[in-house]
DNA sequence: AATCAATAGATAGCTATGTATCAAATAGCG
DNA sequence: CGCTATTTGATACATAGCTATCTATTGATT
């Protein structure tokens, strides 16, 4: 009949579900501002990267592939929040810049992200969060996908 | 270039990233069998639900919305792995059944899932996994109620 | 200098997820 | 009985992820 799943058997499914729920919650809260996860995440990373970051660097920071970022940037550019500039030093690259119009949007993003975190972590200890994060990082390592942020430090290969 | 985000700020991004990596690993391993996550996950739940489960029940178990399941079932049905039957008792509903052709596929799925788990959890203690799972459960609870699939799993303990 | 390999970004096509909406069937209420 | 609300599954459309492939540019080798 129905066989119960142990902790490890449940893990993958639960992980996928929580990731989807989290995304949906953010989408719901930021929808009135015309923002979805891919957009706000891109803006947030952009605001925290050094100026004149290239699309490739930004894609690594966000954790998506090039083509995915291209479409996200297309939208953000159409909305007037960012702009792409061709650099003289290497005309293949385009640096991505926040426009002034993005400032209030970023404020809203920061506030919303903080509110969601407050809701999500209210009953969890720092130790639990840290342990869970460590588990996630180790899993990422096993899956050949070292988080992009860490690979940026390496810079070789 | 380092990430100026603390543990909790990183959490959502890391969660989404690991969920995507996990899915990609499964996709890679099962691709030669014409299976993607949505398909094998659906088959797996179907094999663990009581016979004559309706599409609605199956969607809740898998953790997706109706339209998503409809399309997954369309493919599985086209591949001859499942069949939909209209029930006389309520002609709105359709019960979903595994066909005999699905048996070897399910065997393959179970074996692959076990192999992936072995790879992923090899360096993690049971305590860490349990803590992480507990965190995920609490987050799921905060985010719009307990996921239905989990309630089903919990019920048969 | 010319040629070939590598890199950055863009495009196309696939899969998959979601919301909104629809038709059909059922259930409930007057 | 007849009207309305609810439920079930299907469809349409939008967002977003991926790989494969294309163009332009750069770099390296001969």
Whether the pLDDT of residue A9 is over 50: the answer is: yes
Q: Classify residue A71 by burial, with Cβ atoms within 10 Å: 0-12, 13-18, 19+.
A: exposed
Handedness of CA A20, A23, A29, A30 (dihedral sign): negative
Beta carbons of A30 and A112 less than 8 angstroms apart: yes
Instruction: Give the pLDDT band of residue B10 (cuts 50, 70, 90).
Output: confident
- CB distance under 7 Å to strand C: residues: A 20, 24, 54-56, 59, 66-67, 70-71, 73-74, 84, 90, 92-94; B 36-39, 63-68, 71-72, 75, 90-92
Give all strands (DSSP E) within B34-152, no chain letters: 53-54, 82-86, 94-98
Whether the pLDDT of residue B150 is over 60: the answer is: no
CA dihedral A143, A153, A53, A26 (to 10 degrees): 40
Record the pTM.
0.81
**Cα angle B94, B97, B101; round to 5:** 145
CA dihedral A135, B133, B112, B94 (to 10 degrees): -150
pLDDT tens digits, A107-129:
998 888 888 888 888 888 889 98
- B52 phi and psi angles, rounded to 5 deg: 65, 30
CA-based nearest residue to B97, from B54, B56, B140, B139: B54
Strand B82-86 and strand B94-98: the pairing is: antiparallel
Closest Cβ opposite residue B133 in set A11, A124, A149:
A11
Q: Which residues of B touch A17 (CB under 8 A)?
A: 63, 140, 147, 149-150
Task: Say whether A22 and B139 touch across the interface (CB within 8 A).
Answer: yes
pLDDT at residue A67 in the model? 94
Whether the pLDDT of residue B151 is over 70: the answer is: no
Q: Which residues of B touch A21 (CB under 8 A)?
A: 139-140, 143-144, 147
CA distances from A85 to A73, A81, B2 (A): 12, 14, 24
Beta carbons of A62 and A78 less than 8 angstroms apart: no
Task: Say whether A7 and B133 touch across the interface (CB within 8 A).
Answer: yes
Residues 107-146, chain B: which have Cβ under 7 A from strand D?
A: none
Q: Which nucleotide is nearest to A67 (CA to C1')?
A: C10
Q: Which residue of B2, B4, B5, B16 to mutate against A (max A Cβ within 10 Å)?
A: B16
Q: Which residue of A1, A44, A49, A120 to mutate against B (max B Cβ within 10 Å)?
A: A120
- Bridge partners, B82 (sequence order): B98
For B22, the 3-state DSSP assignment is helix
Tally of CA atoms within 13 A in the half-sphere of B115 that contains its CB: 11
ipTM here: 0.79
Spanning CA of A24 to C1' of C18, the rounded length in angstroms is: 9
Beta carbons of B124 and A131 less than 8 angstroms apart: no
Chain position carrying tokens 């947030």: A44
pLDDT tens digits, B40-61:
989 989 998 887 889 999 998 8
Question: Which of the pair, B126 or B6, is modelled with greater confidence?
Answer: B126
Give the domain A26-123 fold.
Arc Repressor Mutant, subunit A (1.10.10)
Q: Which two tokens stand for residue A88?
A: 């003289």
Whether the pLDDT of residue A58 is over 90: the answer is: yes
pLDDT at residue B42 in the model? 92
Question: Which of the pair, A38 or B32, is modelled with greater confidence?
Answer: A38
pLDDT at residue A144 in the model? 65
Which residue lies nearest C11, CA-to-C1' measured? A67
**Cα angle B145, B149, B152; round to 5:** 105
Instruction: Give the pLDDT band of residue B101 (cuts 50, 70, 90).
Output: very high
Whether the pLDDT of residue A98 is over 60: the answer is: yes
Strand order in the sheet with A53-54: A53-54, A94-98, A82-86
Q: Which two tokens stand for residue A2?
A: 């129905």
For A143, nearest residue in chain B (alpha carbons): B21
Which bases of chain D are under 7 A from a protein CB atom?
7-13, 15-20, 24-27
Percent of chain A with pLDDT over 90: 30
Name the residue ranges covered by the structural domains of chain B.
Answer: 20-120, 124-157
Please provide the CATH number assigned to the domain covering B20-120: 1.10.10.10
């Amino acid at each position: 009949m129905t066989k119960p799943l142990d902790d490890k058997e449940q893990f993958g499914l639960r992980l996928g579900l929580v990731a989807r729920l989290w995304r949906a919650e953010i989408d719901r809260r930021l929808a009135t501002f015309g923002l979805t996860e891919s957009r706000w995440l891109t803006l947030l990373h952009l605001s925290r990267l050094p100026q004149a970051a290239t699309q490739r660097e930004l894609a690594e920071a966000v954790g998506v592939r090039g083509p995915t970022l291209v479409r996200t940037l297309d939208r953000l550019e159409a909305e007037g929040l960012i702009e792409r500039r061709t650099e003289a030093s290497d005309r293949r690259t385009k640096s991505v810049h926040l426009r002034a119009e993005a400032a209030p949007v970023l404020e809203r993003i920061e506030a919303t992200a903080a509110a969601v975190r407050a809701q999500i972590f209210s009953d969890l200890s720092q130790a639990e969060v840290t342990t869970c994060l460590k588990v996630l990082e180790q899993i990422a390592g096993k899956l050949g996908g070292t988080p992009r942020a860490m690979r940026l430090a390496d810079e070789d290969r």
